[in-house]
Amino acid sequence: MIHQYKLNGFNIVLDTYSGSVHCVDDLSYDIIALYNEKKSKDEIKSLMLDKYKKDGISEKDILDTFSEVDQLIESGQLFTDDVFKNANLDLKKRDSVIKAMCLHVAHTCNLNCEYCFAGQGRYHGKDAIMSFEVGKKALDFLVENSGSRHNLEVDFFGGEPLVNFNVVKELVKYARSIEKEKNKHFRFTLTTNGVLLNDDVIDFLNKEMDNVVLSLDGRKEVNDLKRKRLDGKGSYDIIVPHFQNFVKKRGNKEYYMRGTFTRNNLDFTNDIFHMLDLGFTELSMEPVVSKPDTDYALREEDLDKIYEQYEILAKEMIKRRREGKPFTFYHYMIDLTGGPCIYKRITGCGSGTEYLAVSPNGDFYPCHQFVGEKEFLMGNVNEGITNTKLRDEFKLCNVYSRKECENCWAKFYCSGGCSANSYHTTGSIQGVYEYGCKLFRKRIECAIMVKIAEAMDDANEK
């Protein structure tokens, strides 16, 4: 399977099953498309001579291009077959080891954001705080069920996790104390709205957190429209100085500014550029996923505008890199040479199998987006996984289990998408959130174009 598209002056051909990326001229682009339509070489030659006569393309040029294309086919970089379906069968029998955990240390929040999927941080329940004892049991469960995995990940999440900062500190201290004995390495992350981000907290996060996700939607009027304090006022004036102080002290360690765009700011690249103006360079901006009846839900008619925004962003990323002022947009950071193996690409995020979320009272859920939904309760810190049937359902969730993914060129980039989004939009974890697919495919097209532009720039510099 191949995918062809033109973007920003580049003709791009992607080969799905090998992962190959080709940048081609107009003649090759057309010839590859005709190969894909199973046209004969005589037919293709005749069509190309007609089309490119005025450009001085000769029969030899066409035959040489045939030769280049044939060489790529022979070397397994173009029109490759799917050789992974059988590997998928092995995946169903794979061990159940857990390597990542999302600890909901606080089901309460000091902001009241309108679009919050967690219902103002309470996950459709009452205010709740995780005790050290529950957190410790969760970490012990993670260690005991991680098999031979060395790297374990723990994300402090909420609600607002800094509301329960003392427990966060105690849990990190406990985890560090058992690393050597258990031969494990914990990688901690934390997601915060920034309200409680003072110097003491910053020093701790910079010492212990591998990544910190900071929630900001961009321009003041955009951020304050949705991200409000409990008194109804906007949060921008409080959180931006906190974030700037944090980033100044962060050094080279990883962080991400993480915004959400809605129908109210379809010009969201301006919010990304505003974050750049504020001095932030590691950026992520996500489309809101919400019930369709809200006034801020993204609609089908918004797609062209969103696509245009993604293209503007990609071009700006290339431009600023050339100017020596690079920035990171999370979704465009594809690692073509060191990206994930095919097993990871087929299985995706591992929710419900490799990844669990833990509620403040110690209940297990497949991921943070299922917390509080009783039908997705998988067990708890005292009894372990009790709902093995649900775990097995998630084990079977992968790119080959969704028939909608069968003919999608992007399936090894998205791994079949997010089960939570699928469930919340289609009612089934095996469903497909088609709107999200459309946005994802556009982002991948832009991301690969950025990689090609960067490769060309680097080659020209040499």
Partner 1 sequence: MKRIVTLTTRDLKESKKNGGCGECQTACKTSGVANQKCEKVNK
Residues 281-300 that bind partner 1 (CB under 8 A): 284, 286-287, 289
Contact residue for partner 1 among 275, 447, 450, 453 (CB under 8 A): 447
Nearer to partner 1, 21 or 196 (CB): 21
Q: What CA–CA distance (Å, rounded) separates 383 from 380? A: 6
66 and 41 in contact (C-beta within 8 Å)?
Answer: yes
- Quick check: 97 binds partner 1 (CB under 8 A)? yes
Candidates 19-27, 159-167, 233-241, 242-250; binding stretch for partner 1 (CB under 8 A): 19-27
Counting Cβ atoms within 10 Å, is residue 255 exposed (0-12), middle (13-18) or buried (19+)? Answer: buried
- 3 state SS of 380: strand
Nearer to partner 1, 240 or 420 (CB): 420
- Quick check: 109 binds partner 1 (CB under 8 A)? no
CB of 101 to partner 1, least distance (A): 9
Site for partner 1 in 164-193 (CB under 8 A): 187, 191
- 3 state SS of 460: helix
Contact residue for partner 1 among 7, 28, 160, 360 (CB under 8 A): 28
CB burial of 156-174 (b: ≥16 within 10 Å; e: otherwise) equals bbbbbbbbbbebbeebbee
- Per-residue mark of binding to partner 1, 136-155 (x: CB under 8 A): -------------xxx-x--
- Per-residue mark of binding to partner 1, 249-268 (x: CB under 8 A): -------x-x----------
Which amino acid is it at 415? S
Contact residue for partner 1 among 87, 198, 230, 428 (CB under 8 A): 87
Positive or negative CA dihedral for 418, 421, 424, 427? Answer: negative
- Quick check: 368 binds partner 1 (CB under 8 A)? yes
Q: What CA–CA distance (Å, rounded) separates 272 from 258? A: 10
Site for partner 1 in 33-72 (CB under 8 A): 64-65, 68-69, 72
CB burial of 289-317 (b: ≥16 within 10 Å; e: otherwise) equals bbeeeeebbbeeebeeebbebbbbbbbbb
- Within 10 angstroms of residue 274's Cβ, the number of other Cβ atoms is 18
Nearer to partner 1, 134 or 450 (CB): 450
- How many residues make contact with partner 1 (CB under 8 A)? 78
Contact residue for partner 1 among 123, 246, 423, 440 (CB under 8 A): 440
Q: What CA–CA distance (Å, rounded) separates 402 from 246? A: 42
How far apart, in Å, are the Cα atoms of 83 and each of 69, 89, 268, 354, 401? 21, 12, 40, 25, 16
- Quick check: 104 binds partner 1 (CB under 8 A)? no
Site for partner 1 in 384-413 (CB under 8 A): 412-413
- Quick check: 4 binds partner 1 (CB under 8 A)? no
226 and 272 in contact (C-beta within 8 Å)?
Answer: no
- Quick check: 349 binds partner 1 (CB under 8 A)? yes
CB of 166 to partner 1, least distance (A): 24
